[in-house]
Amino acid sequence: MEKVINNDFIEKCSKSYNDDDGKRIITNAVVKNGINDSALNYKSVNNMYYEFSDEFDVGTVTHQKQTGRCWMFAALNTIRYAISKKLDLKDKNFELSQAYVMFWDKFEKSNFFLESIIDTLNQDLNSRTVTWLLDHPTNDGGQWDMFVALVEKYGIVPKYAMPESFHSSNSRQMNFILDYFLRNAAKKLRDLAEKKSDLKTIRHEKENILTQIYSLLCTFLGEPPKQIDFEYRDKNDVFHRKEKLNPIDFYKKFSPVDLKDYISIIHAPTKDKPFEKTYTVKYLGNVMGPRQIHYLNLPITELKKLSIEQLNHGEPVWFGCDVGKYMNRELGIMDNKLYDYEKLLNIKFELTKADRLDYRGSVLTHAMVFTGVHLIDGKPQKWKVQNSWGEEPGKKGFFIMSDTWFDEYNYEVAIHKKYLSDKLLKIYEQPPIVLNPWDPMGSLALSRG
């Protein structure tokens, strides 16, 4: 074929299409119904029924609405379940404040962004790193380690202590304004550096900027409470009241989950990330300090084994995946056999999981929680998933994942260190290999899932 598409080649393509009656029939189906309804595999639908050999009741699902807070919703769901179980709460709809965590995440991300700008003052404005930073001043996404850092520093509160605001549930315009303001701030800091201002002067300007950011966040979300009164009834209808708790005290007193004890296990089967090594992502995080992104990369069989063990001990498992692939929102099914695109369209998808990561065909986009697994002869067949999209999709908001989908599109789980062998714990203590800011393993923190 020549470099330029010409009319002869277009005629050749047209003839190839029109000579196949089956292609025109398929066109009619897809034009009328769309590709997913046309390619839906009902055998997959029939196999993905909501019965599990091992599961537990975690209460109702939550709703992140028009935001990318899946990671914090999923993490808060694991804590609220533990608190409800510990206190034997009567209220099955008990929730922890997502807006509270969101406020501090936005505030800390603003500082993290500004510090990253300061760290790159000697780099050209058009360098890939600075361009990447300016593309993502702040966002709703996040990672397990980022959640841990927030809660360890700021604690948690019940939802009634800081309920949802308009913009905690609809974050697009808030993010637009924050990003606009932070890019303006980045220019101020770089301008000061060009004028040979010292670091003390630059950081003083950063302090002024963060003061304004705090005020903006209060306007959008309300100011976080410094003290709360915790009131609840247990299942015996006994009323309890604890007064004047600060958010860190509330977390430490009532949460059986000690977040510091959990490790992020990933499955990244690419050549640049050997298994049994640890990794971090440069310029990815929120809270400046010792706790940063820290992954342990293991084979997929290990992620499953550790998840099953944690579930068998009655504890949910936070996980990160590429939710949009082979997923039906209405049915609540995630199965890589759900849509038979290849047979319908007579094409081949030959990329492996590693290939999809390398060629940007798949990244982490969404975090949810495993609350059950279906085992046959000890081997997983399907997984029960607590989502944060409200009760409308799936079965009252719960989804079902095939085990083969887990293989292909699940990338991360948060596992208590007590389930890891001494060998793996020792490996986890290794200094992490630093990945580029744009590595696929950092994508969940940029996601709007």
Query: How far is Cα 228 from Cα 358, in angstroms, rounded to an integer?
Result: 47
Question: Is 70 designated active site?
Answer: yes
Q: How far is CA 188 from CA 87, 120, 121, 127, 399, in A?
A: 50, 14, 11, 18, 47
97: which residues sit within 8 A by CB, 6+ positions away?
156, 157, 158, 159, 160, 161, 162, 163
Query: How far is Cα 102 from Cα 173, in angstroms, rounded to an integer?
Result: 15
- Confirm if 298 and 276 have CB atoms less than 8 A apart: yes
State whether residue 240 is helix, strand or coil.
strand
73: which residues sit within 8 A by CB, 6+ positions away?
62, 64, 98, 367, 388
DSSP state of 267: -
Query: Which amino acid would we find at residue 371?
Result: T
Strand pairing partners for 327? 334
Question: Is 366 designated active site?
Answer: yes
Catalytic residue among 136, 267, 366, 374: 366
DSSP state of 66: B
Query: How far is Cα 91 from Cα 291, in angstroms, rounded to an integer?
Result: 34
Catalytic residue among 70, 175, 286, 328: 70
Q: Which two tokens stand for residue 119?
A: 């760290």
Question: Is 13 designated active site?
Answer: no
Q: How far is CA 381 from CA 91, 180, 196, 310, 372, in A?
A: 33, 47, 62, 17, 11
Catalytic residue among 139, 297, 387, 410: 387
Q: How far is CA 291 from CA 46, 144, 146, 147, 352, in A?
A: 44, 11, 8, 10, 33
- Confirm if 420 and 263 have CB atoms less than 8 A apart: yes
Q: Which residues are catalytic?
A: 70, 366, 387
